[in-house]
Amino acid sequence: MSTPKTPVSLKGPQIALLTSTITYPLVFYLATPRNATASRFTKSREAISVLHCSLVTLLSAYELRKQSKDWDAISISRINRSASKHDAIQTSDGANCPLITTRSMLGNIITAFEMGYLVQDAVILILAARLRARGRGKGLVKEINWRVLGWHHAGLSSALAVLQWYISSGREKGIMVILMLMLINAS
């Protein structure tokens, strides 16, 4: 018995993940000369990282600003409907507050783009560590705690992978909170 073949339909977040996964290594390849020293390799990675962080920070700030109008309107209407300030606090439990329940296609796309970046950046970090190990003792690269950075990438990538699974099934929550955390990129 054969199964009917249906075309795969990609949604915005999956396209962003695929784009990020392909674009980052391509840009890195074009920005890094062949036979690059460990120092040049690291500089290329850092330049791309700055561009990526700037883009994600700006997109996150834009989406948070755009969505904040809805949170304010909902919060004000809840307080106005309540008899007292105490009742308003009790009726707005954390799981159902607009900040948690707001859905955002752009927010989903940003998190998918970030996941693709983190996965590919982890690969670049592994390659950089190998290049650095070959040139040990030459002092070409500033000291970075590679183990911590690797665990950081693995943890965030795993969490974002779980989030992408929830997004694909339409059960995501807390995207706005995650976008707020992405503003940390500005630092």
Mean per-residue pLDDT, 42-64: 93
Mean per-residue pLDDT, 115-119: 92
Both structure tokens of 47: 């330049």
For residue 142, what pLDDT is reported?
55
In sequence order, what E strands does 114-171 have? none
Burial (CB < 10 A; 0-12, 13-18, 19+), residue 71, is middle
The 10s digit of each residue's pLDDT in 67-83 is 988 776 555 555 555 54
The 10s digit of each residue's pLDDT in 140-166 is 445 667 678 878 888 999 999 999 999
Lowest mean pLDDT across 10-24, 71-85, 114-128: 71-85
41 pLDDT above the threshold of 80: yes
The Cα 146–Cα 129 span in angstroms is: 8
